[in-house]
Structure 1
Amino acid sequence: MRALLDHVWLSPRELPALADEVVEALVDRVSAMSALPERRRRAELRSEVETALRGALSRPEPENLDEADGEYGSLTRERARQELFAALTAGSPLSAEALASLAPLARRAAWQLPAAVRAVVLGSPGELQLATDALGDPLIGITDGRPCALLPDPDPEARSLLRRALPRGRAAAVGHVVPLGEARSSLRWARRLVDLAPEAQLLFVEDHLPALLLLQDESLVRALSARWLRPLDALKPAQSARLETTLLAWLEGGGAPEAAKTLKVHPQTVHYRLRQLEKLFGPVLRDPRSRFELEMTLHSRRLLAQVRDVQARISRRARTAAMSLKPMDVAREARVNGR
């Protein structure tokens, strides 16, 4: 229901339909309501429900707006905001000329075009209104089923405000600051970070740039692995995993003692494994460029494994939640959704 309210909040024209659904649900579930006269009393109830919903959504009644700002003159403020959000976040970066052409739409939306923005993406609908109310006057929309917001003229250091404003215990990501014409980039990487989030928490793109760059395309990670880690293919999985972990610790730390501390094993164990790696990889381990690509490959594989582990946990939780639903709950949800 909260997700549906968010949807209607973005598109107030759908509020009457929601009011009809609420009335039908009340009549269906509350025995006292079933005795209501069919026409007049239900019409009164529907009017009362719609008024209550408007109050809950903090949205005034739609107004008949006069023609203004050319072709945008017939748009309501909310519809203009939806179209402005879509124009700023779809397609290629916008030129100065393209941004200037959006000025009439921005006036209709009562949203002054800022010099820079950053995107905020929530992991799931349901908290959009609370978050945006606390963030001031962002431009909001829903992309791929996720509520999003563009914050105008953001302060790069305003993390404390964002932490207070965004809901706790929910997945959310804050994009990097970009010029207005590149708003789609900030939105894109915030959405990607939400997908990679290991737990329900607030994350900032600036803190995870290396991971986002390395995981742009899983097929490239597989191609790198096929190129650089082929010497490990002939080994048993357990031995391959040990050597792979040791190689990454050695490349990161710069030496055997540092790798031993990272892995919490005896230095002689690391030396033994390094001799095995030397036999397998040969001069590759002494070439700076090859070492760099090897380290990048190993980092990517580790990050990809972590992402898959997170996705598996989420899938297991979803299956458990689905199995715990009672048949009556499923039937009730089906009636509400019209199935």
Structure 2
Amino acid sequence: MSDVLNRIRSRPRGEWARVQRKELPAVADQVVEALQRSIPAMSAFLREIDREDAQWAVEQALLAALGHHSPETKETDAGTGTQADNVTAAVPIDRARRQLFTALMGEEEFPESRLTELARSARWPLPETVRAIALASPSEVPQLAAALGNALVSPVESELCLLIPDPEEDREALETVLRGRTAAVGHTVPLSDAGSSVRWARRLLELTPPPAAPGANAINGGIGTNQDGKVLFVDDHLSMLLLLQDESLACALSSRWLGPLAELTPRQSERLEVTLLAWLESGGAPEAAKTLQVHPQTVRYRLRQIEKLFGSALRDPRTRFELEMTLRGRRLLGQIRRQRTRAGRRARTNTTGVRPLGVAREARVNGL
């Protein structure tokens, strides 16, 4: 016990809650073992009940003593006052953790008593808040889950996701643990809203570009490049995720507000779009010229063209807001599509080297 306390106290104070949760199962096991050895009556009592139930009770008592929550009690049968009919059958811990993760996603209704039983079987005390992490690669998952404070781990479609209990707002610590991995960290939410943190972490991971070559430049307004599996945080990309939560709506918004540009050539339309967005973001022609790296007179000439197309609507604050939101969405969609195109090209390049000899010879004969 003293060794555990020393390990907790050796950490920075902000990490005590996470370390306590990580160490509690082992402490509870030691307490139960000590009770069995030192108190004969307690030893006889513990032989009559499941050891995991005893450890769970000790964990809850320790959590309450440490000020995390009130002690949890199991429901008793109204007629007999026994627990036998209400305690679910023992579930292997790995399966219980997966089931608990699924239950916390909120896709199905789970009574609170069922969540409590799953948490007991999973040896995962229910926290007040959680934070999700979506990983592109499942490397060293057990060690990673332990380092993050007894995190729940479960696959969600093609990604591996973790739920961190009662996360500390320490970005540097998370970045250190996740260094070298491509990962998206969700926002901190109440336990009842865990599915939201998982959903937006997965969405950010989906929008994350693959690791880029050294020297690649970030695209203004988006995620940019992902150098060496850099960790991304949902909190840093809330507006982007909001704009791109439904690509079809973003396209509908473009059709609604960018109609005056429809008669122009693609090159003309793109030039006026970037000029209008730079003007809306910066508030003036000289500032927009700096952003676009062109002469201020060039910006003023384009703005006169834009005013002819849009008329007095540009003086309306609501119209300017809608236009800026539309143009930001189009810029982000363009970035995502270019990333997907580059990823497809890399995939095709990787497959050309393993083409069968006969196919390659036929291609040269046909001049392809």
TM-score by length of 2: 0.66
AA aligned to 1:161 is A
1:234 paired residue number: 263
1:196 paired residue number: 207
Q: Could you tell me how far apart the structure 1 residues matched to 2:112 and 2:308 are? A: 59
1:60-101 per-position Cα deviation (integer Å, ceiling 9, x unaligned): xxxx99997946323111111110011001427x7xx84454
AA aligned to 1:269 is T
Q: Could you tell me how far apart the structure 2 residues matched to 1:129 and 1:234 are? A: 57
2:347 paired residue number: 318
1:120 paired residue number: 133
RMSD value, Cα: 2.3
Identity %: 56
Among 143, 153, 156, which residue is 1:140 paired with?
153
AA aligned to 2:264 is L
1:133-176 per-position Cα deviation (integer Å, ceiling 9, x unaligned): 322310110001211100000112x11111111140x3210000
Question: Would you say the 8 A contact 2:151–2:162 is kept in 1?
Answer: yes
Deviation at 1:310, TM superposition (A): 1.4
Deviation at 1:314, TM superposition (A): 1.9
Report which structure shows greater RCO (CA 8 Å, sep ≥6): 1
3-state SS of the aligned residue for 2:162? strand
1:4 paired residue number: none
Q: Could you tell me how far apart the structure 1 residues matched to 2:90 and 2:114 are? A: 17
Among 260, 281, 292, which residue is 1:252 paired with?
281
1:307 paired residue number: 336
3-state SS of the aligned residue for 2:237? helix
The structure with more helix, counted as a fraction of residues:
1
Question: Pairwise mapping of residues 1-339 of structure 1 onto structure 2 (< 5 A)?
Answer: 70=86, 72-91=88-107, 98-156=111-169, 158-168=170-180, 170-198=181-209, 199=226, 200-325=229-354
Larger Rg belongs to: 2
| Alpha-carbon distance change, 201 to 324 in structure 1, aligned in 2, over 3 angstroms | farther
| Alpha-carbon distance change, 175 to 271 in structure 1, aligned in 2, over 3 angstroms | same
1:213-233 per-position Cα deviation (integer Å, ceiling 9, x unaligned): 000101111111001101111
Question: Would you say the 8 A contact 2:90–2:121 is kept in 1?
Answer: no
Deviation at 1:256, TM superposition (A): 0.8
1:175-232 per-position Cα deviation (integer Å, ceiling 9, x unaligned): 0000000000000000000011123321000000000000010111111100110111
Question: Would you say the 8 A contact 1:65–1:75 is kept in 2?
Answer: no
Q: Could you tell me how far apart the structure 1 residues matched to 2:311 and 2:343 are? A: 41
TM-score by length of 1: 0.72
| Alpha-carbon distance change, 324 to 136 in structure 1, aligned in 2, over 3 angstroms | farther
AA aligned to 1:135 is L
| Alpha-carbon distance change, 231 to 326 in structure 1, aligned in 2, over 3 angstroms | closer
Aligned length: 259
Q: Could you tell me how far apart the structure 1 residues matched to 2:316 and 2:343 are? A: 41
Structure 2: gaps (5+ residues)? 1-50, 54-82, 210-225, 357-368
Q: Could you tell me how far apart the structure 2 residues matched to 1:91 and 1:237 are? A: 44
Q: Could you tell me how far apart the structure 2 residues matched to 1:133 and 1:318 are? A: 35
Question: Would you say the 8 A contact 1:72–1:108 is kept in 2?
Answer: no
1:48 paired residue number: none
AA aligned to 1:258 is E
AA aligned to 1:83 is Q
1:86-118 per-position Cα deviation (integer Å, ceiling 9, x unaligned): 1001427x7xx8445410110111000000000
Question: Would you say the 8 A contact 1:65–1:76 is kept in 2?
Answer: no
